[in-house]
Structure 1
Amino acid sequence: MAEKVSKQTTIKEKVSLEGVGLHTGQSVTITFKPAPENTGYVFKRIDLDGEPEVEADIAYVVNTQRGTNLEKNGVSIQTSEHVLAACVGLEIDNLIMELDASEPPIMDGSSKFFVEALEKAGIGELDAEREEYEVDEVICYHDDESGSEIIVMPAEEYQVTAMVDFGTKVLGTQNASINHLSEFKAEIANARTFSFLHELEALLDHGLIKGGDLNNAIVYVDKEIGEETMKKLRVAFDRKEMSVKPNGILDNLTLHYPNEAARHKLLDVLGDLALIGTRIKGKVIANKPGHYVNTQFAKKMAKIIKAAKRNNVPKINPDIKPLMDVNDIMNILPHRAPFLLVDKIYTCTDTCVIGMKNVTMNEPFFVGHFPGKPVMPGVLQVEAMAQTGGILALRSVPDPENYLTYFMKIDNVRFKRQVVPGDTLIFKLELLAPIRRGICQMQGYAYVNGKLATEAVLMAQIVKSK
């Protein structure tokens, strides 16, 4: 049976929210609209001529001061992370987000209202399969200046842990985790943004947080407040009286959770890593995360994923029982030792097959093919690829044991690297067109050590043997 795959999603109908931008203070309406498969997340500035679009792509990050800010061709999107976190948390893959200003509304400083709006719009499946990058090794980014570090390691789900330590008594050390995105709505979405008093003063001095009030930003008081500072805060937030409560929070705002700061940092991580553009299957651990380190890690991941796509290397878990072992293969293919060159089949769908061969020193062809420095003959690599493709071709008939595949043509063969004893060859063959009149056209690849070794275009004919 084929591997289980999940489908891409979008919303079923449009939905809008109104508010103000946290830093700009501008009134803004954001309208979420359904998007076709493979669109991803796209911001659209409907207040500008031509309604230019800015894709939620790590390549467009221009600065991370108090938010993750994007710019494409001079068109800006500010503080993108909260709305993107809502999209990721609800496992929505494709979305158009129309804005009539540069910054989405801050709402209450969390993702809660975005989540509610998107759920109201309804979430539906599309035909295309969801793309996912399966992490198979530990990947790390460390920032020497801040001591912040983010790593990702193999896991069965997209999981995230955020650990924060700002070196202050009022906040202390906190952490938060989710083991599945389904936990986002209940555990993370309503965690609000926060700031320390010393940061707040600096932001006010620089004319920022014009849309801030005590309902959308938790303020941790990490210093003594003088009368001059208190006056400035009363003016900024249009309040007659302000105070610091025993838990060190400015005014009377009640925390949703004791570790709300860590939960919001986790929310930010999810939103910032959405800019990678590909869903991750792995566990992310973020120690002292911030928008800068988050986006630097996202850049590194995007580069790794791009290289993996370029190499197109299939992921095989040797601990999982294969779809077909050598005995199953011999029930379909007529080949036998020493000319059966496929050991296992891991995936076989209507359009793609993935197989494997362990190349050992005992292969009979090594006896005479460069015996002093054994190398697997390229023609046998192509033959092994063709045998794997034969499994895919014979899938189209109900009784494959009664059919044979004869290869009619091999084009565009390229040998990229040597295959030697001890290597494991991974084969991937994909149909280039539907099978018609028994004719099967396939693009074939053979990989070794995570690199492309051989590629070719194969054409075969399926013929009844009895």
Structure 2
Amino acid sequence: MSDKQKTIREEIKLSGIGLHTGREVNLTIKPAKENTGFVFVRTDLEGHPQVEADVNYVTTTERGTTLEKLGVKIHTCEHLLAALVGMDIDNAFLEMNSAEPPILDGSSKYFVEAIEKAGVKEQDLAREYLVVKEVMNYIDPSTGSEITVIPADDYEITTMVDFGTKVLGTQNASMKNLSEFKDEIAPARTFSFLHELEQLLDANLIKGGDISNAIVYVDKELTPETTEKLKLAFGKDEVSIRPNGILDNLTLNFPNEAARHKLLDVIGDLALVGVRIKGRVIANKPGHFVNTQFAKKLNRQYKLQKRKNVPDFDLKAEPVFDINGIMKLLPHRPPFLLVDKILQLSETHVVGLKNVSMNEPFFVGHFPKEPVMPGVLQIEAMAQVGGILVLANVPDPENYSTYFVKMDNVKFKKKVVPGDQLIFKIELIEPIRRGIVHMQGYGYVGDSVVVEAELMAQVAKTKN
């Protein structure tokens, strides 16, 4: 899948009944520009207020995930959000004339089909990711539900469900890649146990339900009284139990449909993190509460990563330039060559690495009892990485050099000491004009910014 952001190509219109409100709702999905995310719009309310699909707006998770912003509510948003993520969409406006999307058949299937028919449009800006670099988890001690995420190259999910009932038993489901969502996950419908359904009907909380949009596992005796309640609620002349323990008028799409629907819910709830995830999620007995609590934790981690602006790089990957390639571009030589590898390179940015060794000659005289890399040399190393960005894009780099013109907003935030791997990320602030290069540079050790500076340099032809 592309790493560019995406939206839908054309408007989508769907209508149906809200599961809990029982009201007819018209849903219009509209294209949105980059970095919009998913935004619900209540067209039935004055001013058409908007509620962003943001986990910090979650208020309740009873029988579905509810968002609320300034008194405006959106109920049961997870199936629609799962469809958008599963179809590789990043940005969309979701206009509704009610508080709840249509339940349709209780899955994401019809949302997916509508998105596929409308088409997907690639946008100009790159997609952002929460890159999982260490194990994170959340446990709900009251239920034993647990969600863990571990590092992985793609977005993978495994769900395990065990409700302690003979009729459902233990089920597992997995998705190795979002490309599997359309056929393997989207058609999985929501489900309920008979005792839960009875409670919801008695509380008047499932007005839009139908045997066709919810699998009902019969975990108790189907008494004449209960049968009459179901017949009245669903408008059926007869209600009976199939041999596999579910109510009639519905055939399972998958033997493990319950586990697949729980996986669908995880995708929809984690969409509220607000960014794509690179990691493997393992969910044991997931539910909307534990899903959204975990989403809040991931959202905080993403904001921390974004604030630190730590570049995503793989130290084990083949470098763009090793030390020999660097010496072909830069005129510097040891001991004043302060770059060991170039990890990433484009027309507008570069990422380079400096291994800080105790053998560096400057440690002999610079705080010898407590070796610290001089700040001026950190800036020099940053500038050399910036020089690679410039010289790698000219046809004859051996005939050019880059020279400092100006430094601004230089900040040293943490000491750099022997054993550190110093990573520099340099980006052009504006296009190169008349040989003048304006760059913003950051230096990192681990997840911490240790140095930053705004640099200006001039590219000049070397005199022979």
- TM-score normalised by structure 1 residue count: 0.98
Contact 1:149 1:288 in 2 (8 A): yes
Q: Which amino acid aligns with 2:414?
A: R
Q: Name the structure 1 match of 2:313.
A: 316
Secondary structure of the corresponding residue to residue 147 of structure 2: strand
Q: Name the structure 2 match of 1:289.
A: 286
Partners of 2:236 and 2:40 lie apart in 1 by 35
Residue 395 of structure 1 deviates from its aligned partner by 3.4
Residue 236 of structure 1 deviates from its aligned partner by 1.3
Secondary structure of the corresponding residue to residue 329 of structure 2: coil
Contact 1:5 1:129 in 2 (8 A): no
- TM-score normalised by structure 2 residue count: 0.98
Q: Name the structure 2 match of 1:224.
A: 221
Secondary structure of the corresponding residue to residue 375 of structure 1: coil
Partners of 1:237 and 1:135 lie apart in 2 by 45
Partners of 1:97 and 1:122 lie apart in 2 by 16
Partners of 2:86 and 2:446 lie apart in 1 by 35
Residue 143 of structure 1 deviates from its aligned partner by 1.2
**Number of matched residues?**
463
Partners of 1:450 and 1:181 lie apart in 2 by 28
Partners of 1:458 and 1:96 lie apart in 2 by 40
Cα distance per residue 1:35-89 (max 9 Å; x no partner): 1111111111111111111111111111111101101111111100000000011
Q: Name the structure 2 match of 1:35.
A: 32
Q: Name the structure 2 match of 1:76.
A: 73
Give matches, 1:232-243, under 5 Å: 232-243=229-240
Q: Name the structure 2 match of 1:438.
A: 435
Q: Which amino acid aligns with 1:429?
A: I
Q: Name the structure 2 match of 1:174.
A: 171
Partners of 1:334 and 1:383 lie apart in 2 by 13
Q: Name the structure 2 match of 1:60.
A: 57
Give matches, 1:352-391, under 5 Å: 352-391=349-388
Give matches, 1:377-456, under 5 Å: 377-456=374-453
Give matches, 1:79-158, under 5 Å: 79-158=76-155
Q: Name the structure 2 match of 1:24.
A: 21
Residue 188 of structure 1 deviates from its aligned partner by 0.6
Q: Name the structure 2 match of 1:188.
A: 185
In the alignment, structure 1 residue 49 sits paired with structure 2 residue 43: no
Q: Name the structure 2 match of 1:202.
A: 199
In structure 1, stretches of 5+ residues that fail to align are: none
Partners of 2:348 and 2:45 lie apart in 1 by 44
Identity of aligned residues (%): 66
Residue 398 of structure 1 deviates from its aligned partner by 2.1
Please provide the CA RMSD for this pair: 1.1
The counterpart of 1:212, out of the listed 206, 209, 212, is 209
Partners of 1:5 and 1:366 lie apart in 2 by 46
Partners of 1:261 and 1:244 lie apart in 2 by 17
Secondary structure of the corresponding residue to residue 317 of structure 1: coil
Deviates more, 1:79-88 or 1:199-208: 199-208
Partners of 2:139 and 2:253 lie apart in 1 by 31
Q: Which amino acid aligns with 2:122?
A: E
Structure 1 runs (4+) greater than 4 angstroms displaced: none
Partners of 1:141 and 1:317 lie apart in 2 by 27
Secondary structure of the corresponding residue to residue 282 of structure 1: strand
Residue 201 of structure 1 deviates from its aligned partner by 1.2
Residue 5 of structure 1 deviates from its aligned partner by 6.6
Cα distance per residue 1:97-142 (max 9 Å; x no partner): 1101000000000000000111111111111111122211111111
